Chain A
Amino acid sequence: MRLLGYFNYWIVVALMMIGFYTMISRGNLVKKLVGLSVFQTSVMILYISLGKIFGGTAPILLEGEEHVVYTNPIPSVLILTAIVVGVATLAVGLALVVRIHEAYGTIEEDEIHVQDDVM
């Protein structure tokens, strides 16, 4: 039961390792970015899990109901910022891959290394 209670965190760890491993092991530049995205997404789930309370509602003050249990909004708000940053990073990364493809004609890391060594 204890293990299941940490379900979100197991998912976070699994996604984080999948993303990280993809980034390290794949030679394809787009796949590396996919790995990076998965890696960053796992952190988003981590943050949101931190703020969640079972049975909690949105943090809105209602008349007559003073002792409402609500989910901490701050981690969600923080992660909103991190999502924007993640999208921007992905956009810059993909733009770079497009330029790399124009310059080298390939997006495989080892083929790029071969071309650089020949020069």
Chain B
Amino acid sequence: MRENLPVLQVVVPLLAAPLAFLVRRPRLSWLVALGAAFWAFFAALSLLTGVLASGAIGYEIGGWEPPWGIEYRIDELSAWVLVIVSGIAAVVLPFARASVEREIERDRIPLFYTALILCMTGLLGIAATGDVFNVFVFLEISSLSAYGLIAMGQNRRALTSSYQYLIMGSVGATFIVIGIGLMYSMTGTLNMADLAERLPAVAASRTIPVAFAFLAVGVSLKLALFPLHLWLPNAYTYAPSAVTAFIASTATKVAVYMLLRFFFTVFGAAFSFEVMHLDRILMPLALVAIVAMSLVAINQENGKRLLAYSSVAQIGYMVLGISLASVLGVAAGVLHLFNHALMKGSLFMAMGCVMYRVGSCRVEAMAGLGKTMPFTMAAFVVGGLSLIGVPLTVGFISKWYLVQAALEKGMWGIAAVVLLGSLLALAYVWKVVEVAYFRPPPDGPGVREAPLSLLIPTWVLVAANLWFGIDAKTTAGVALRAARMLLGAGS
């Protein structure tokens, strides 16, 4: 079984998805989804340990040798992303049961879990595959199910935000297909490793830079890089709580993974940064994202929307690290993938707890919650500190590496913007904390603390925030190895 893990990782959840629908009963379909998520997490962990011990694992689907057949290829980076996606799914699903029963009509719950598992399958597939067209197929699996999931939000604006995401997401995906088609027309191959070998010979043509541009725009749409982020705030705000927690901590991360894959593994760092100068466009956009989106976050009146804008800013940090194109910079980006998943996961789950008891995520509605829902708000505070980058949390580790990477290149201005971003994060986290702790709760029947089935998963992620903030040796080690692999393969 071990040698089949790369494909079982994706196939088992794919089969679990229709099963979750066929069992019809909400509780049973939840169990199916939970089983699939735990299986994926177990498979991802054992793949990661396998990759760390003995290098990349390849799997030929149907026994067809690459580059003719489709190859699944798990290296340090893909195993890392697999762990992030499946780990977040394994934490969000226990949380989802109570939250979903409150927010979604009973007869739609099996469909909800089917879509959630399909979304996870798509994201896992993108990370596992070594074939560029396969990336597109899995991207569409995850996106289509995400549109459905977002549309299940209670507010009718969930429908329009899902529609907006569908239009922008499809444009992004189509751009990616155009890029893949143009690459295929010049090289006659779709296998990533094979493409990497054949592209340098034809890189001087006009087709390859065009393919590069289409892929850059398509992937940037998917990862919500400023100013292509317009779909994200509404989608995160109006989606059901569990969906926001899952998608916010995985979907954009996998898009960042695609960015790394296409521009480091397929095109190679030398072509992407020395010939095409990708950094000249990524770096300014990332810096603007960090400052502008943090400022916009400060002005938000809805807690989920505030965190959504903060997500766009945080994506800026990841892209900033990548745009430095040094081992430390890319490592900082890869590290922030994991760390940001932990922070935003715990913050959005805390918001889910508030939604469960208060029925609203408006900042005003949170008055006095510090007293009435102490554990929920404490989770929010720790998550918020992590977002700011206070020592002993994962946020600090990310920023530490990012600042180091900037200083290594002598870019003091960038280090200053990173610190400015932290200050702005303090402002928007404080906005929620102030209302929750220093305003009296409204009169009338008080709200109670969220049930344990919501609190435990939230606190598991909060604990992970602290754990990997104190002991960053494992996470930073994997990130550095992945960065070396990415940059080594390209030059």
Q: Which residues of A contact B (CB under 8 A)?
A: 20, 23, 29, 32-33, 36, 39-40, 43, 46-47, 50, 74-75, 78, 81-82, 85, 88-89, 92-93, 96-97, 99-100, 103-104, 112, 116
Binds A, one of B140-148, B269-277, B314-322, B455-463: B140-148
Q: Are A103 and B159 in contact (CB under 8 A)?
A: yes
* A50-B181, A78-B133, A82-B177 known; A93 vs B163 contact (CB < 8 Å): yes
Residue of A32, A78, A81, A99 touching B159 (CB-CB under 8 A): A99
Looking at the assembled complex, report how far the CB atom of B327 sits from the nearest CB atom of chain A, in whole angstroms: 35
Q: Are B170 and A89 in contact (CB under 8 A)?
A: yes
Q: Are A100 and B178 in contact (CB under 8 A)?
A: no
Q: Are B166 and A93 in contact (CB under 8 A)?
A: yes
State in angstroms the CA–CA spacing of A103 and B136 once bound together: 32
Looking at the assembled complex, report how far the CB atom of A34 sits from the nearest CB atom of chain B, in whole angstroms: 12
Instruction: Tell me the dominant secondary structure on chain A's binding face.
Output: helix
Closest 4 CB pairs of A and B: A103-B156, A85-B140, A50-B185, A96-B163
Q: Are A47 and B181 in contact (CB under 8 A)?
A: yes
State in angstroms the CA–CA spacing of A50 and B184 once bound together: 9
Contact with A along B131-158 (1 / 0, CB 8 A): 0010011001000100110010000110
Q: Are B137 and A81 in contact (CB under 8 A)?
A: yes
Residue of B163, B166, B170, B184 touching A75 (CB-CB under 8 A): B184
Q: Which residues of B contact A85 (CB under 8 A)?
A: 136-137, 140, 144, 173
Q: Are B151 and A99 in contact (CB under 8 A)?
A: yes
Q: Are A92 and B181 in contact (CB under 8 A)?
A: no
Looking at the assembled complex, report how far the CB atom of A109 sits from the nearest CB atom of chain B, in whole angstroms: 8
State in angstroms the CA–CA spacing of A83 and B162 once bound together: 22
CB-nearest residue of chain B relative to A29? Answer: B163
Judge whether B326 is part of the interface by a CB distance below 8 angstroms: no
Looking at the assembled complex, report how far the CB atom of A54 sits from the nearest CB atom of chain B, in whole angstroms: 16
Q: Which residues of B contact A112 (CB under 8 A)?
A: 160
Looking at the assembled complex, report how far the CB atom of B18 sits from the nearest CB atom of chain A, in whole angstroms: 15
A sample of 28 inter-chain contacts (CB < 8 A) reads A23-B167, A36-B167, A40-B170, A43-B174, A46-B178, A47-B181, A74-B184, A81-B133, A81-B137, A82-B136, A85-B136, A85-B137, A88-B140, A88-B144, A89-B140, A89-B144, A89-B166, A92-B144, A92-B148, A93-B167, A96-B151, A96-B162, A96-B166, A97-B163, A100-B156, A103-B159, A104-B156, A116-B160
CB-contacts of B172-230 with A (<8 A) = 173-174, 177-178, 181, 184-185
Q: Which residues of B contact A89 (CB under 8 A)?
A: 140, 144, 166, 170
CB-nearest residue of chain B relative to A78? Answer: B133
Judge whether B296 is part of the interface by a CB distance below 8 angstroms: no
Q: Which residues of A contact B166 (CB under 8 A)?
A: 89, 92-93, 96
Q: Which residues of A contact B171 (CB under 8 A)?
A: 20, 23, 36, 39
State in angstroms the CA–CA spacing of A93 and B184 once bound together: 29
Q: Which residues of A contact B160 (CB under 8 A)?
A: 100, 112, 116
* A39-B174, A50-B181 known; A32 vs B137 contact (CB < 8 Å): no
CB-nearest residue of chain B relative to A36? Answer: B170
Looking at the assembled complex, report how far the CB atom of A11 sits from the nearest CB atom of chain B, in whole angstroms: 15
Known: A40-B174, A50-B184, A112-B160. 11 other contacts (CB 8 A): A20-B171, A23-B167, A36-B167, A47-B181, A78-B184, A82-B136, A85-B140, A89-B144, A92-B166, A97-B163, A103-B159
Looking at the assembled complex, report how far the CB atom of A16 sits from the nearest CB atom of chain B, in whole angstroms: 8
Looking at the assembled complex, report how far the CB atom of B111 sits from the nearest CB atom of chain A, in whole angstroms: 12
CB-nearest residue of chain A relative to B140? Answer: A85
State in angstroms the CA–CA spacing of A46 and B174 once bound together: 12
Q: Which residues of B contact A46 (CB under 8 A)?
A: 178, 181
State in angstroms the CA–CA spacing of A54 and B142 once bound together: 38
State in angstroms the CA–CA spacing of A100 and B166 once bound together: 14
Looking at the assembled complex, report how far the CB atom of A84 sits from the nearest CB atom of chain B, in whole angstroms: 9
State in angstroms the CA–CA spacing of A96 and B163 once bound together: 7
Q: Which residues of A contact B157 (CB under 8 A)?
A: 116
Q: Are B184 and A43 in contact (CB under 8 A)?
A: no
Q: Which residues of B contact A39 (CB under 8 A)?
A: 171, 174
State in angstroms the CA–CA spacing of A100 and B171 once bound together: 21
* A36-B171, A89-B166, A104-B156 known; A96 vs B147 contact (CB < 8 Å): yes
Q: Which residues of B contact A32 (CB under 8 A)?
A: 167
State in angstroms the CA–CA spacing of A93 and B169 once bound together: 12
Q: Which residues of A contact B178 (CB under 8 A)?
A: 43, 46
State in angstroms the CA–CA spacing of A95 and B170 once bound together: 15
State in angstroms the CA–CA spacing of A100 and B169 once bound together: 19
* A23-B171, A32-B167, A116-B157 known; A43 vs B181 contact (CB < 8 Å): yes
Q: Which residues of B contact A40 (CB under 8 A)?
A: 170, 174
Residue of B133, B147, B156, B174 touching A92 (CB-CB under 8 A): B147
Q: Which residues of A contact B163 (CB under 8 A)?
A: 29, 93, 96-97, 100
CB-nearest residue of chain A relative to B175? Answer: A43
CB-nearest residue of chain A relative to B133? Answer: A78
Contact with A along B271-299 (1 / 0, CB 8 A): 00000000000000000000000000000
Q: Which residues of B contact A92 (CB under 8 A)?
A: 144, 147-148, 166
| Most chain B CB within a 10 A radius of its CB, from A36, A40, A46, A96 | A96
State in angstroms the CA–CA spacing of A5 and B163 once bound together: 39
Q: Which residues of A contact B185 (CB under 8 A)?
A: 50
Q: Are B159 and A100 in contact (CB under 8 A)?
A: yes
State in angstroms the CA–CA spacing of A112 and B160 once bound together: 9
Q: Which residues of B contact A36 (CB under 8 A)?
A: 167, 170-171
Q: Which residues of A contact B184 (CB under 8 A)?
A: 50, 74-75, 78
